[in-house]
């Protein structure tokens, strides 16, 4: 009967994400793995290079650092997943932006009377 424990576990996870700073990942390793996979599939390094990947990762990291204090604890717990497969800052930034944009659209919909019932952003469960 895991039902009663889910809020406790999820709450603990959110608090842990909110209390700490931005998780660190090895973007270089992710970029190298990505290049190796794409080169293995297509036999060509022009599609994805470590240099381009690292440029994108550094840009995303700078934006996340700039906006870190504005992200909710729930968004941090759901988007910043350092133990996910091939974690990267570009995905995290996209996740933060999507939650922000959906909230904005729902708020605008509520004002216009077109929001879905409850007007809430339904968030997925964090990865474990």
Distance from C-alpha of 20 to C-alpha of 74, rounded to nearest angstrom: 13
> Which whole number is the average pLDDT over 32-39?
92
Does the pLDDT value for residue 51 go beyond 60? yes
> Which whole number is the average pLDDT over 34-54?
87
Residue 81 tokens read as: 């997943």
pLDDT tens per residue across span 67-124: 999 999 999 999 999 999 999 999 999 999 999 999 999 888 777 666 555 555 566 6
The predicted pLDDT at position 116 comes to 58
pLDDT tens per residue across span 52-66: 999 999 999 999 999
Residue with the bigger pLDDT between 115 and 46: it is 46
Does the pLDDT value for residue 5 go beyond 50? no
The single-letter DSSP state of residue 114 is: -
Distance from C-alpha of 31 to C-alpha of 111, rounded to nearest angstrom: 43
Tell me phi and psi for residue 21, to 5 degrees: -85, -170
Count CB neighbours of 102 within 10 A. 14
**pTM greater than 0.85:** no
């Amino acid at each position: 009967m895991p039902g009663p424990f889910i809020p406790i576990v999820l709450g603990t996870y959110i608090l842990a994400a909110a209390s700490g700073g931005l998780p660190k990942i090895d973007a270089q390793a992710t970029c190298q793995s990505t290049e190796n996979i794409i080169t293995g599939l297509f036999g060509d390094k022009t599609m994805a290079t470590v240099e381009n990947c690292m440029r994108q990762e550094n840009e995303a990291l700078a934006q996340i650092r700039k906006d870190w204090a504005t992200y909710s604890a729930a968004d941090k717990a759901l988007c910043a997943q350092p133990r996910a497969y091939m974690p990267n800052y570009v995905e995290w930034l996209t996740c933060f932006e999507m939650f922000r944009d959906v909230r904005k659209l729902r708020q605008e919909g509520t004002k216009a009377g077109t929001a879905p019932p409850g007007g809430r952003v339904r968030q997925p469960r964090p990865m474990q």
